[in-house]
Amino acid sequence: MDENTAIVRARDFLKRHGVTDIPIDVMTLAAAEGFQVLHKDLPDGESGSTVERRGQRYIWINANEPTQRQRFTVLHEIAHHVLKLPSVHGQAPSADDAQLLSSRRRPVEEVACDAFASECLVPYSVLKPCIDDRAFTVTAVQDLSVRFDASQHCVASQWIKASEDALAFVVANDRRIQVAFPSRTAKEAGLRIANGRMLPTGSAADQLVRASATDGPSSELDASEWSLADAAAHYMAYEEATNYVPKQRTYSFVTFEAVGNAPRVAVHAARDDDDDLLAPLTGELSWKPKR
C-alpha cells in the first residue's frame, strides 16, 4: 500500500468516526476501534506495539516519550489495524526518528502507517486554511504544533505536503542533512536538497549548532548554497531554524523566492504516479479548530 492510499483511508477513518475538532482525541478513537491504550516503561527507541491477550487488544506506548510522540504512536498502531497491514518494525525507531529514514529504506507497511497517523493528527482540510497566506516560520509551526497537539516535525511535514509555495523542511544531525522534504512547487522548480550534505555555512541551523543555541538568527542565502541544481541560481533561500541541543538535531524551515528572470513554474502542473489515488481536496475547513 502506498502513502496516498493510506492518506485517503485516514480521511475516511476520521469521517466515519465523526471527528470534528482538533486536537484529535486519539484515546477515543483507539477505544472505538476496540483497543485499550496502556502506558509502559519500554526500552529507548521502542515507541509502541499492539498485543492481544485473552481477547482484548492493547496498544502499548512508551510512557517515557513526549506526549505528542505518544499520540502519533497510538494512531500509527491503529493504522496497522485499519489498513490491515502487518507490523514489521523490527527494532523500531521512535516516531520522529522513523520519519527521518528514507521510505526506500523502510518497510512500505510502516511508511503507509506513518502517513495515516500524520493525516489523522494534522488533517489537510484543517491545516490548509491555517497556512494559506502564512509564512513558513518557526513561530507558525510552533503555533500549529500546539493547536494540533502534534510534533513540529509532523506539522512541518504536513505543511510541506499542503503548500503551494516553494518550501523545504530540512532535518540535520550535527550539521549533516539527514532528510529534506521539498514541497511540490519546489520539486517542480528543480530545488531539491541532497541528503548527506553538510548544512550551508552561515545558515541559521549551522549557526545554532556552532553556538549550541536552541533558536535565534534567520538566514538569507543564495538557494545554490542549499541545492546543487542549476535552477537554484534563480532563487534566494530564506531560513529559520530550531536546534535540539542534546542531539544537535536541527529543523530548518526554508522558503525559496525567485529573483530576476527565474523560470515560471506552474503550480502542481506535474503529477506523481500516485496522484489519482488522492481524494479531491477542496481546502474548505470541514473540521473547526478549537479556539
Burial of 40 (0-12, 13-18, 19+ CB in 10 A): middle
Asked if residue 271 is part of any domain, the answer here is no
Show the beta-strand stretches assigned E in 83-129: none
Query: CA–CA separation, 121 vs 142, rounded Å?
Result: 15
Overall average pLDDT of the 71-98 stretch: 78
Provide the pLDDT confidence category of residue 4 given band limits of 50, 70 and 90. very high
pLDDT at residue 51 above 80?
Answer: yes
Which pLDDT belongs to residue 60?
A: 94
Overall average pLDDT of the 276-291 stretch: 36
Q: How many CA atoms lie within 13 A of 165 on its CB side?
A: 21
Angle among Cα 53, 56, 58 to the nearest 5 degrees reads 80
Same domain, 134 and 254: yes
Same domain, 195 and 92: no
Which pLDDT belongs to residue 55?
A: 86
Which of 118-122, 145-149, 243-247, 262-266 is least confident? 262-266
- Mean confidence (pLDDT) of the chain: 87
Angle among Cα 137, 138, 139 to the nearest 5 degrees reads 90
Beta-strand relationship, 56-62 and 35-40: parallel
Query: Which of 121, 151, 171 is the last residue before a domain boundary?
Result: 121
Beta carbons of 189 and 235 less than 8 angstroms apart: yes
- As for how many domains the chain has, the answer is 2
Residue 178, domain CATH: 3.30.450.20
Domain that holds residue 228: 130-258
Provide the pLDDT confidence category of residue 45 given band limits of 50, 70 and 90. confident
pTM more than 0.75:
yes
- Tens-place pLDDT, residues 256-278: 999 976 665 544 433 443 343 34
Asked if residue 274 is part of any domain, the answer here is no
Cell of 138: 518557526
Which pLDDT belongs to residue 43?
A: 87
Residue 14, domain CATH: 1.10.10
Same domain, 104 and 142: no
- Say which residues have a Cβ less than 8 Å from residue 254's Cβ, sequence separation at least 6: 136, 167, 168, 169, 170, 226, 237, 238, 239
DSSP 198: B
